[in-house]
Every structure is written in structure tokens, then in C-alpha cells.
Amino acid sequence: MDNRAIKKRLRQDALARRDALPPEWRIEASLGMADRAGEIGVEPGAVVSGFWPMRSEVDIRPLMFALRELGGRLCLPAILDKETIVFRELVRGASLIDMGFGTAGPGPEAEVLQPTLMLVPLAAFDKRGHRIGYGAGYYDRAIARLQAGSRPPRLIGIAFDCQEVEKVPDEPHDIVIPEFLTESGLRSFAPAL
């Protein structure tokens, strides 16, 4: 089986486990993650990119708002075309528009920001910090673009423990996520040697 087929299977299995979690439990776990905002920490004015939850994802809105209370400036991804996302500022009271894939984000009138902290959605991850996204590659391209800049963002993958898999197949373009936040807490992964 090739890497693409393995990743597809791992993604399907991890998402099925996540979908099987009771909605009430997911809400409580998401609120518990928000209580860890102080562990994550942000400097005043830091630009924090989050995501509007879709399907059974961790609802990170409480965490985002807790990070805003610590001085963070929030933004959400906006899909520009089949290849590109940018991060638009999320301000209180602004209307959100449909971004496709069951998610929402600020409209084109919102300021485009460069995240210094990215809360990264995912389907599955392993203990080495490798992740499987949803298959479109938007985050991989956006992270690569930001890492090529002068100030690469801090990356934290967001998931439930049940989304962890034994091993995600390595590929040359993979971006390792050094930290993950689950209901069990914030974990750091040492870079592979």
C-alpha cells in the first residue's frame, strides 16, 4: 500500500473515532482545552490563527477567546482559491461568511494578518509530530509559505487523544508540528534526528 492510501485509511479511522465521541463530551473537552491558554501563553499583540470548527472537530473558539484575553489578536483562515489560504482578522461583532468545507471566516474587508501562533486542525497525528490533514493541503502550503518568511509561526496541532495513530508515513514535504494540544494537555515533541 502506498503512502497516500495509508494516510487515507488512517484519516478515515481517526475521524471515525472522533465522530464517535459523544457531543457533550467533546464540548467539555474543548472547554478544558481553553483552560490551558495560560500554558500556551501569548505575548500582547501576538497574532493567533485559529479555525472555525467543522463536524466533530475540537471547538477551539473558547481557547481562541481565552488567548485573546491574554493579549492575542485573532485571525481565521480564508480560502482564496484551490491552492491558497490567507489569515483574516477576527474581530468582535464582525460578520462571518461561508468558507466552504462547513466552516466560516471573516470576509474580504477584514485585514490579512501573518500569524505568530497557529492552532492547526488535523485528522490524525503521531507521537513524532507528524500530522494528517484533511487531504487538500491548504495548511501544508500556508505553513511552508510562513516558515519561509522572516518570522516562522509557532505551530500547535489541535485534536482529541483518539486521533493519535501509531505512525504517519513520512513524506519529503511533511511539516512536523512540534506541539499538540489535546484533552490530556499540551505536549511537545522533540525534533526527529
Known binding site: residues?
Answer: 7-11, 57, 131-139
Tell me how far apart the alpha carbons of residues 97 and 102 are, in angstroms, rounded to a whole number. Answer: 11
Which triple of cell numbers denotes residue 190?
A: 522533540
Closest CA to 16 of 121, 163, 130: 163
Binding-site sequence positions for ATP: 7-11, 131-139
3-state secondary structure of 183: coil
Q: What is the largest CA-CA distance in the chain?
A: 49
Binding-site sequence positions for substrate: 57
Which triple of cell numbers denotes residue 2?
A: 502506498
Tell me how far apart the alpha carbons of residues 170 and 121 are, in angstroms, rounded to a whole number. Answer: 19
**Environment class of 105 (CB within 10 Å of its CB; exposed 0-12, middle 13-18, buried 19+):** buried
